[in-house]
Structure 1
Amino acid sequence: MLGMGALSALALPPVHCLPILLLTFPILGCALNTAPNWKKAAWAGALFGFGFYAANLYWLVNAVMIRAEEFWWFVPFPSLGCALILAPMVAAPAALSRLAPAGPRRLLAFAGSWTLFDMGRVFLFSGFTWNPLGSALAIPGTVGDVLIQPAAWIGVDGLTLFVVLGALFGGAALQDAIRARTDHPCRFFPHRVDRLRIAACFVAVIGISLAASMIRLHSVHPVGEPGPIAVLVQGNVPETEKVGHLNPRDIFTRYLHLTADGVLQAHKLQPRSDFPDAVTRPIVFLWPETSFPGSTLLQDSPRARRMIMNWAPGADAGFIGALRVDEDGRYRNSVLALAPDGDITAIYDKARLVPFGEYQPPFIPLQIVPQGGMAAGPGAQTWHVPGLPPVGPLVCYEVIFSGLTVNGHDRPRWLANVTNDGWFGNSAGPRQHLSSVRLRAVEEGLPIARAANTGISIAYDGFGHELARLGWGKTGTLVVSLPAALPAPLFAQYGRTLPALLSLAVFLAAFIRPRRKSEKTGR
């Protein structure tokens, strides 16, 4: 089971090898079907989950290696420790599936409970909903654009439910067909007609999903004013320089020059002033999370803030990722909105802190996070910055939380995400993070601009279609005109309630006893 879980991680970004699930999940389903009791089933699920999470979170070790001389003893723990914590989220559904009769109904119970427990990861510590299986559908390019559109109705958790159902039932039917002439102890659909029905359902669901996606892509249109011209500044500062507080003046100067160049490009995108109906767009530039060394420079230095805005003539605002110290002396990971005169017009403090990175659970006896971690902000906000359409700021990891990224009482017109994936190197981690950005755009129907320190800086429209990107490890600016927002999709209105109810319905369907032919005829 350990190996099957690890192989399943190949379905996730950036590999997107979805067919592997047709092999691995039926083998897990077979183990659940033949386990003598719930404890054996739970162990099978735990091993599968441990392998799955250890493989897809391997890159976490890169963050420790940056400070290996200080935390060398902690190197084995990030990936394996997270996998150990998350394995019960698969063990519990495996145990619960034993409540349903063996066979296809047990697969239903497992698929429904897998998704419910996967959604429950939002309650682990400060939350860790990284890599839901639905993100496997966020394949780069047009194929992914089509596959992820149902997230507008059922979110990534709904996609996860259908991926697990498809893997279990489609894979079981396929493997049963291969083993049709053997006496294999685990056959879910021994009769050919049952396998054909499953195949027909599989094809029908895919067909309906693709048709609905195409209809949405061609029938839903942006409404209201367009978004701003966003200048995404990618300083590409090595994390060792930031941690060691090396070359802060050079890094600050680099950001100033990049900003000036990007804002100049943005002005060239404005319509010519001699056009009779010319309407200029506001210009905003984004610096990544904790842009440069010097913890509270922007908070304490009006001169530094004025200097930044002086290097961006004509920009309506600048969003700067920076650390700040609150009135209680606690550090906060924040975004500051600067007006053209350098005044701070809005502050957003990161609400969801990274466990063991920015936030240390109180039961950990060793001091892992400096000073016990940061203070968390109050949650999703909408900024009404003068001159700009209403915007929802997000810092780094917050973008992975489906249904929790937007203030539902004050819906923004676009999202601004500042992040720093430099901790994790040129690995799967930044690409997995990127898939979350794309899925949030679809779920909320909002364009999103993302400025990342070492990349990947990117912009998506409300369909999750890529508008522009600046790749990993490059220094430069990305200038993009953001479109208007789409009408609020179903998921944006009801959030995770819909996928939760859908998953619960699938779980309960496992306990509906089908009527036999003799009962139907009254015999």
Structure 2
Amino acid sequence: MTHQARAAEPGLRVDARPSMPASGPLAGIAQWIMLSSGIGRLAIALLAGALGALAMPPFGLFPALVVSLCVAVWLLDGASAGRLRRTLTASVVIGWAWGFGYLTAGLWWLGAAFLVEAEEFAWALPLGVIGLPAVLGLFYGAGFALARLVWSQGAGRIAALALGLAGSEWLRGHLFTGFPWNTLGMALGQNLWLMQGAALFGLYGLTLVAILVAAAPATLATAGTARGRFAPTLAAALALALLAGFGAARLPAGPDPVVAGVRLRLVQPNLEQDAKFRPENREDILDRYIELSDRAASPDRTGLADVTHVIWPESAFPFLIQRDPKALAKIANALPPGKQLITGAARAEEPLPGERPRYFNSILTIASGPTLGDIYDKVHLVPFGEYLPGPLDAILRALGLRQFVSIPGGFTAGSRAGQQILKVPGLPPVAATICYEAIFPSEIVPAAAAGAPPPVPGLILNLTNDAWFGDTPGPRQHFAQARLRAVEEGLPLVRDANTGISGVVDPHGRVTASLPLGVEGILDTALPERLPGRTLYARLGDIPFALMLATALTFALAARRRRA
């Protein structure tokens, strides 16, 4: 049955007509995609989504997202005829398949974590590599269905897709603890000029812009006037040029100023994950950290004499260092007076009678002495990696299963209400994050207490351990996402990773110093100053994004009414 015949069926919504293709090779491809059905349609959607993943770090091929989203538009065009229930069902299935392809191609490297302790976790590898994208693909199915509800012909459908997809990406980043990894806005968020827009409207604003720009060329294959076909693509090119122009103007000609009297030493030990948490390696691991910390970074420097702060990565030790006087004494002997150590470490709290011990994934500050200073406990834990979600905890443990991290009962989350700015002598106030906390745009700076002014940190600190994922795109994607937080907040980022990528990023997103993935080394570096004042995003959060969504909805509805 042709689209024209199906459009005559009773019970259609107003303007359920598909956008018909024009003539030419591109129009022929669009028509073929629109007329696809069944398994063929699902295969096209899945492959288009997988192609879109090439726009993410470390590849950064934005044209791949253009092709991917143009195909998505034509697939939704093909689902635009029929009764409402049938149309929405088709849209959900297309969106799920597109999202499944996108996430599987972008997150396949998660499988490496299941092979670190293969004898215990290899059986679950398909659950991470296929199961997670299959579940998260439902967000894209919902986004495609929302887009279809306000679908129309011409440019209006591009706004509809941006509304549905950007909204679903925001939900993916917030619901069920959230997982905003490889949000579509990262297609623009890895380019130095284009990422500056995050200072205005954050990652999700970049996401909406990326969808609008990448999907606009789909109209080139639509019948109608030349103006109707070409105007959306020209508008998208203009929007991209304006965003790049804003970014170029925002970037200063020279380097950002640095904080006086601060010299950081980032230690990247490059420890393999399968050896890192074996208690029998405790002495060797601690000695390795100390030896690296005291190593001269260049011939004209000696030991720790010219640094003020030494930084070690997440969960640096396979033991509870605050309960080990011998280890603390060894660190104290290595730290000259006045120097500070900032390190990731597991820590435990003494239980109340009748309770089991509580373990935290923490950042500790240690001075010579040794003196334990301020502590930050990780708030946003990784489900199944650091704890088993509540409803599944008892069931999975009864089956003899556990989370990846070998901590009895898993880690306990720090109190969000008590989340504090980390205070480190000699440093500006620190917005502390551990591991993937740095991928959440809204969780970098703690919320202000009732009646108090908002906290004003001077830097973002991210300690992480990406050794779970080896030499794959995962660690590179992690670094790129953490880097964008610096632009959003107008704060420098200091990132120390066990196997890399470690580095310092200034508040404009420029990498001032770094160590590559998979090498052992140290990095001596200054600390850039924060930007004066606060960025628009730091002040308003996702309010600008909400206004952008409302604008897309208004445009989509207006286009739909004009076509009715």
TM-score of the superposition, structure 2-length normalised? 0.82
In the alignment, is the contact (CA less than 8 A) between 1:458 and 1:469 conserved in 2?
yes
Is residue 245 of structure 2 the alignment partner of residue 211 of structure 1?
A: yes
Q: CA deviation at 1:287?
A: 0.6
SS of the aligned residue for 1:102 comes to coil
Is residue 198 of structure 2 the alignment partner of residue 154 of structure 1?
A: no
Residues 259-268 or 147-156, more deviating = 259-268
Change (3 A) 1:443 1:220: farther
User: 2:333 pairs with 310, 314, 332, which one?
Assistant: 310
User: Which residue is equivalent to 1:277?
Assistant: none
User: Which residue is equivalent to 1:508?
Assistant: 554
User: 2: CA distance between counterparts of 1:358 and 1:394?
Assistant: 15
User: 1:250 pairs with 258, 263, 284, which one?
Assistant: 284
Q: CA deviation at 1:515?
A: 8.3
Change (3 A) 1:211 1:34: same
How do 1:326-405 residues align onto structure 2 when only pairs under 5 Å count?
326-328=349-351, 329-364=357-392, 365-366=395-396, 367-369=401-403, 371-379=408-416, 380-405=419-444
Change (3 A) 1:190 1:81: same
Letter in 2 for 1:13: P
User: 1: CA distance between counterparts of 2:538 and 2:255?
Assistant: 16
SS of the aligned residue for 1:511 comes to helix
How do 1:21-170 residues align onto structure 2 when only pairs under 5 Å count?
21-35=65-79, 36=82, 37-103=87-153, 104-139=155-190, 144-170=191-217
User: 2: CA distance between counterparts of 1:266 and 1:123?
Assistant: 48
User: 2: CA distance between counterparts of 1:224 and 1:259?
Assistant: 22
SS of the aligned residue for 2:530 comes to coil
The count of corresponding residues between Structure 1 and Structure 2 is: 489
Is residue 349 of structure 2 the alignment partner of residue 292 of structure 1?
A: no
User: 1: CA distance between counterparts of 2:107 and 2:96?
Assistant: 16
Letter in 1 for 2:242: I
Change (3 A) 1:82 1:466: same
Letter in 1 for 2:213: G
User: Which residue is equivalent to 2:219?
Assistant: 173
In the alignment, is the contact (CA less than 8 A) between 2:159 and 2:553 conserved in 1?
yes
User: Which residue is equivalent to 1:12?
Assistant: 56
Residues 8-17 or 506-515, more deviating = 506-515
User: Which residue is equivalent to 1:273?
Assistant: none
User: Which residue is equivalent to 2:29?
Assistant: none
Is residue 545 of structure 2 the alignment partner of residue 499 of structure 1?
A: yes
Change (3 A) 1:128 1:459: same
User: Which residue is equivalent to 2:268?
Assistant: 234
Letter in 2 for 1:241: A
What 5-or-longer segments of structure 1 have no aligned partner? 177-186, 271-279, 518-523
How do 1:274-285 residues align onto structure 2 when only pairs under 5 Å count?
283-285=308-310
Q: CA deviation at 1:154?
A: 0.9
User: 2: CA distance between counterparts of 1:107 and 1:199?
Assistant: 10
Change (3 A) 1:306 1:500: farther
SS of the aligned residue for 2:176 comes to coil
User: 2:527 pairs with 470, 476, 482, which one?
Assistant: 482
For residues 265-314 of structure 1, what are the alpha-carbon distances to aligned partners after superposition, in whole Å with 9 as ceiling and x for unaligned?
Answer: 897799xxxxxxxxx997111110011222x1x21124422422431325
What 5-or-longer segments of structure 2 have no aligned partner? 1-44, 352-356, 448-453
In the alignment, is the contact (CA less than 8 A) between 2:88 and 2:148 conserved in 1?
yes
TM-score of the superposition, structure 1-length normalised? 0.88
Letter in 2 for 1:249: E
In the alignment, is the contact (CA less than 8 A) between 2:264 and 2:526 conserved in 1?
yes
For residues 50-93 of structure 1, what are the alpha-carbon distances to aligned partners after superposition, in whole Å with 9 as ceiling and x for unaligned?
Answer: 11111111011100101111123212111211101211110001
SS of the aligned residue for 1:440 comes to helix
Letter in 1 for 2:64: I
In the alignment, is the contact (CA less than 8 A) between 2:258 and 2:528 conserved in 1?
no
User: 1: CA distance between counterparts of 2:484 and 2:254?
Assistant: 17
Q: CA deviation at 1:5?
A: 0.9
User: 2: CA distance between counterparts of 1:224 and 1:429?
Assistant: 30
Letter in 2 for 1:323: A
In the alignment, is the contact (CA less than 8 A) between 1:263 and 1:283 conserved in 2?
no
User: Which residue is equivalent to 1:274?
Assistant: none
User: 1: CA distance between counterparts of 2:562 and 2:391?
Assistant: 54
User: Which residue is equivalent to 1:453?
Assistant: 498
Change (3 A) 1:227 1:482: farther
Letter in 2 for 1:341: G
For residues 196-250 of structure 1, what are the alpha-carbon distances to aligned partners after superposition, in whole Å with 9 as ceiling and x for unaligned?
Answer: 3223212221221122111111389968955832111111111010233342211
Letter in 1 for 2:143: P
For residues 72-121 of structure 1, what are the alpha-carbon distances to aligned partners after superposition, in whole Å with 9 as ceiling and x for unaligned?
Answer: 32121112111012111100011111221422323312211211221122
SS of the aligned residue for 1:247 comes to helix
Change (3 A) 1:158 1:268: farther
How do 1:409-424 residues align onto structure 2 when only pairs under 5 Å count?
409-424=454-469
Change (3 A) 1:387 1:482: closer
User: 2: CA distance between counterparts of 1:509 and 1:262?
Assistant: 60
In the alignment, is the contact (CA less than 8 A) between 1:288 and 1:419 conserved in 2?
yes
SS of the aligned residue for 2:513 comes to strand
Residues 506-515 or 11-20, more deviating = 506-515
User: Which residue is equivalent to 1:183?
Assistant: none
User: 2: CA distance between counterparts of 1:281 and 1:445?
Assistant: 28
Change (3 A) 1:237 1:505: same
Change (3 A) 1:484 1:269: farther
- Larger RCO: 1 or 2 (CA < 8 Å, sep 6+): 1
User: Which residue is equivalent to 1:184?
Assistant: none
SS of the aligned residue for 1:57 comes to helix
User: Which residue is equivalent to 1:3?
Assistant: 47
